[in-house]
């Protein structure tokens, strides 16, 4: 029985063509700035995001955390949505690495309003931390793959700018937002000071993320990356996979979105699971089971369907490169069986 793995879009394996690109990569020592594939990747990412420069790093977490370190000093505050990855899934890095305090605002499926941001910013007050940074996420993972409508994003960024805050965008799935709307990734990114993107999520590369921003910020980011142990040597082997992903795997994200919609429509017909198909904007699907999610996750695992619980009755399913339309139909058959048994 072939397992169908909806745990995350991080689980994809490199395709044969991607492996060939990796094997053929020209390399050099990237800590000396001499790796041609890394240099090419960084230029391409900066171009695509409409920002001056970019730096290749091992993970999305490191890209985000370098941004935090660039924008804030110890005791400063980052304003963000309460479910954001930087707060929920980065091992407490904000406080452990930088002494930064987060202020997590409740979002609408991950999205904030300009009024919320304006109200959250601290005034000059000896009791309070200094608000320095607004950090947004597009698409929003815990929100269910939500895309930031560009106008709403603009208004929230404007509120931050008015208060003198820098703006970071966690764009781990920014190309999903691009494919879902037809709006180029740069439309969001160029409104920010720094934007991170991941090659190891929907784009299907085995490793790697990038952080883009002004040339001056990215120069300083090189120091922070070194400090965090992210200075890699012949990293061109990895950059080649990321370049291949950027060239060949962006347009196909539309298939993942169609598969997520197909899965949602199929689940909506079943008893014992609630899903709102109209809310499926990209490749992430949030569901609510009548039975405890942990029970459903183990029951489904025995039938070869893998997913992650997100709460006592809730779970997340993510579509990606290694899940086909026929896998969706097979998964629906298996899920029906699990719900009926
Ligand atoms: N997200 C992972 C888990 O960490 C939750 C997943 O399976 O979705 N930003 C966002 C919005 C992310 O979703 C992730 C990974 C990251 C950053 C971190 O990327 P990595 O795993 O490369 O450090």
Distance (angstroms) between ligand 1 centre and the Cα of 313 equals 22
Distance (angstroms) between ligand 1 centre and the Cα of 62 equals 10
CA distances from 183 to 62, 129, 174, 187, 289 (A): 26, 36, 10, 7, 34
pLDDT confidence of residue 45: 98
Shortest-distance Cα residue to atom 4 of ligand 1: 89
Mutate to test the pocket of ligand 1, among 7, 8, 60, 93 (most ligand atoms within 8 A of CB): 60
Alpha helices in the chain (DSSP H): 16-23, 36-49, 60-71, 85-88, 93-98, 114-120, 150-162, 174-181, 185-189, 215-227, 236-248, 253-268, 293-302, 325-340
The atom number, within ligand 1, closest to the CA of 137 reads: 11
Distance (angstroms) between ligand 1 centre and the Cα of 173 equals 9
Q: Which residues line ligand 1 at a C-beta cut-off of 6 Å?
A: 8, 10, 59-61, 64, 85, 89, 137, 141, 170, 172, 198, 200, 209
Q: Decide if domain 14-248 falls under CATH 3.20.20.70.
A: no
Distance (angstroms) between ligand 1 centre and the Cα of 245 equals 17
SS3 56: strand
Q: What is the CATH number of domain 252-340?
A: 3.90.1150.10
pLDDT confidence of residue 341: 83
Q: What is the mean pLDDT of the chain?
A: 98
Distance (angstroms) between ligand 1 centre and the Cα of 123 equals 32
Whether 112 shows a pLDDT value over 90: the answer reads: yes
Residue 132: left (phi > 0), alpha (psi -120 to 50), or beta?
alpha
Are the C-beta atoms of 252 and 321 separated by less than 8 Å? yes
Q: In the block, which residue shows the tokens 């998964």? A: 331
Mutate to test the pocket of ligand 1, among 5, 7, 10, 90 (most ligand atoms within 8 A of CB): 10
Handedness of CA 75, 79, 85, 89 (dihedral sign): positive
Confidence of residue 1 (pLDDT cuts 50, 70, 90): confident
Report the C-alpha gap between 67 and 288 in whole angstroms.
Answer: 34
Report the C-alpha gap between 317 and 266 in whole angstroms.
Answer: 13
- Taking residues 102-122, report their average pLDDT: 98
SS3 18: helix
SS3 20: helix
Whether 155 shows a pLDDT value over 90: the answer reads: yes
pLDDT tens column, 32-53:
999 999 999 999 999 999 999 9
Distance (angstroms) between ligand 1 centre and the Cα of 290 equals 27
Report the C-alpha gap between 198 and 208 in whole angstroms.
Answer: 6
pLDDT confidence of residue 149: 98
pLDDT tens column, 54-97:
999 999 999 999 999 999 999 999 999 999 999 999 999 999 99
Distance (angstroms) between ligand 1 centre and the Cα of 88 equals 10
pLDDT confidence of residue 279: 96
Distance (angstroms) between ligand 1 centre and the Cα of 60 equals 6
This prediction's pTM: 0.98
pLDDT tens column, 203-234:
999 999 999 999 999 999 999 999 999 999 99
For the chain, what are the domain ranges?
A: 14-248, 252-340
Shortest-distance Cα residue to atom 13 of ligand 1: 141
Mutate to test the pocket of ligand 1, among 198, 204, 208, 316 (most ligand atoms within 8 A of CB): 198
**Domain pair 14-248 / 252-340, same fold:** no
- The pLDDT > 90 percentage for the chain reads 99
pLDDT tens column, 245-266:
999 999 999 999 999 999 999 9
Mutate to test the pocket of ligand 1, among 56, 83, 85 (most ligand atoms within 8 A of CB): 85
- Taking residues 308-334, report their average pLDDT: 98
- Taking residues 129-135, report their average pLDDT: 98
pLDDT confidence of residue 298: 97
Whether 336 shows a pLDDT value over 90: the answer reads: yes
């Amino acid at each position: 029985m072939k397992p169908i793995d909806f745990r995350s879009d991080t689980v994809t394996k490199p395709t044969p063509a991607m492996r060939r690109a990796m094997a053929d990569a020209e390399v050099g020592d990237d800590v000396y700035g001499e790796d041609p594939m890394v240099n090419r990747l960084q230029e391409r990412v900066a171009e695509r995001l409409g920002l001056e420069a970019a730096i290749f790093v091992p993970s999305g977490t490191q890209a985000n955390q370098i941004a935090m370190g660039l924008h804030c000093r110890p005791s400063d505050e980052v304003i963000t949505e309460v479910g954001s990855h930087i707060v929920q899934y980065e091992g407490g890095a904000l406080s452990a690495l930088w002494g930064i305090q987060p202020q997590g605002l409740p979002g609408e499926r991950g999205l904030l309003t300009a009024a919320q941001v304006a109200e959250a910013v601290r005034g000059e007050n000896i009791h309070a931390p200094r608000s320095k940074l607004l950090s947004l996420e597009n698409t929003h993972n815990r929100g269910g793959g939500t895309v930031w409508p560009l106008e709403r994003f603009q208004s929230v960024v404007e509120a931050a700018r008015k208060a003198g805050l820098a703006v970071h965008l966690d764009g781990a799935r920014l190309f999903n937002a691009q494919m879902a709307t037809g709006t180029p990734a740069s439309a969001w990114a160029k409104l920010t000071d720094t934007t991170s993107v991941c090659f190891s999520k929907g784009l299907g590369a085995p490793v790697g993320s990038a952080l883009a921003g002004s040339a001056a910020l990215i120069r300083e980011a090189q120091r922070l990356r070194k400090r965090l142990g992210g200075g890699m040597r012949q990293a061109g082997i990895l950059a080649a996979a990321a370049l291949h992903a950027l060239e060949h795997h962006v347009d196909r994200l539309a298939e993942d979105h169609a598969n997520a919609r197909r899965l949602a429509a199929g689940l909506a017909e079943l008893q014992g699971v609630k899903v709102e198909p109209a809310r499926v904007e990209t490749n992430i699907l949030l569901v609510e089971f009548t039975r405890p999610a942990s029970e459903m996750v183990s029951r489904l695992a025995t039938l070869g369907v893998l997913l992650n619980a997100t709460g006592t009755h809730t779970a997340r399913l993510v579509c990606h490169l290694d899940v086909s339309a026929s896998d969706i139909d097979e998964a629906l058959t298996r899920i029906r069986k699990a719900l009926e048994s």
